[in-house]
Amino acid sequence: MKKELKIFVGIFLCLAASRFIPHPGNFTSLLALSFYVPSLLGIRYIPFLIISFALTDFVIGYHNLTHWTWGSVFLIGFLPLYFKNSFKLRIPGALTGAVIFFLITNLGVWTTGQYGYNLEGFLTCYTLAIPFFTSSILATLFFAIIIEGIYYLYSTKLIEKS
Q: What is the reported pTM?
A: 0.88
The share of the chain scoring above pLDDT 70, in percent, equals 96
The pLDDT value recorded for residue 118 is 97
**Residue 74 belongs to domain spanning:** 2-155
What gap in Å lies between CA 105 and CA 113, rounded to an integer? Answer: 14
Is 24 part of any domain? yes
User: What is the CATH number for 18?
Assistant: 1.10.1760
Nearest alpha-carbon partner for 79 in 59, 50, 99: 99
Is 160 part of any domain? no
Nearest alpha-carbon partner for 29 in 151, 131, 141, 133: 141
The chain-wide mean pLDDT, for the chain, equals 89
Count the neighbouring beta carbons within 10 Å of the beta carbon of residue 25: 11
Is 36 part of any domain? yes
What gap in Å lies between CA 79 and CA 98, rounded to an integer? Answer: 11
The pLDDT value recorded for residue 4 is 74
The pLDDT value recorded for residue 5 is 74
Is 93 part of any domain? yes
The type of residue at 128 is: L
Count the neighbouring beta carbons within 10 Å of the beta carbon of residue 158: 9
Is 144 part of any domain? yes
Tell me how many domains the chain contains. 1
